[in-house]
Amino acid sequence: MPKTALIAGASGLVGSHLLSLLLASERYERVIAVGRRPLPVVHPKLEQRLLDFDNLEQHRLQLIADDVFCCLGTTMRQAGSREAFYQVDYLYVVKLAALTAANFAAQLLLVSAMGADARSRIYYNRVKGEMEEAVSQAPFRAIHIFRPSLLLGSRAQPRLGERLGAVVLRVLNPVLRGPLQKYRAVRADTVARAMLRAAEAESSGTRVHLSDTVTKEGARIR
């Protein structure tokens, strides 16, 4: 039976690739993209909904879907402060998970980050870890958490640190083997394909996907 997908963060690096895959997928008859600004995309299956994420509870009836894909995320530099970063990477994600689960969505698939750990001394990693722990309590049938290492791809707003890191990791990737494979840089479109693949598997429980498994899973969809 055709399903409805909901995606948040469709303007981002992973989200933009994922949106294209969802629109092309026969699994979904409707794709709902939620965000603060309209996307430059027109498609018969696409429904764009502009929402106030600070008052997401008011939009609960617009958040009804079978599978929820969350690609929300920012950086400390882009956010401008710890408080603003926490709002996007924790509060918005956790609210979206809670509201869609209450609407009986079956699956949540979200992008986190390598090193996510609620007990980390690094603020970024700690917030990501706290977010993962919070959304894992939501009553979805399946929760897929993707923790890619450095993401490769073209951003609308290039990040110098990521560009330098990408050059280094492209050189190091071939020697990162065995348990070190999870640190390999991974393409954003590969992460997007792995997310769709996970949704199609119709599994249950909570699963964490690292860069090495993401690369294998994403390679199965072309």
Q: Please tell me the predicted confidence (pLDDT) of residue 178.
A: 52
Closest CA to 136 of 173, 176, 109, 170: 109
Residue 73 to residue 101: CA distance in whole angstroms: 20
Q: Please tell me the predicted confidence (pLDDT) of residue 191.
A: 95
- Between the CA of residue 62 and those of 52, 104, 133, 136, 141, what are the distances in Å? 12, 13, 25, 22, 21
Q: Please tell me the predicted confidence (pLDDT) of residue 174.
A: 57
Domain residue ranges in the chain: 3-218
Q: Please tell me the predicted confidence (pLDDT) of residue 156.
A: 54
pLDDT in tens, the chain (222 residues): 889 999 999 999 999 999 999 999 999 999 999 999 999 999 999 999 999 999 999 999 999 999 999 999 998 888 999 999 999 999 999 999 999 999 999 999 999 999 999 999 999 999 999 999 999 999 999 999 999 988 887 655 555 454 544 444 455 455 545 554 555 778 899 999 999 999 999 999 999 999 877 866 655 444
Name the superfamily (CATH) of residues 3-218: NAD(P)-binding Rossmann-like Domain (3.40.50.720)
Alpha helices, DSSP H only, in the chain?
A: 13-24, 76-79, 82-86, 93-102, 123-135, 160-172, 188-200, 211-218
Contacts of 177 (CB under 8 A, 6+ apart): none
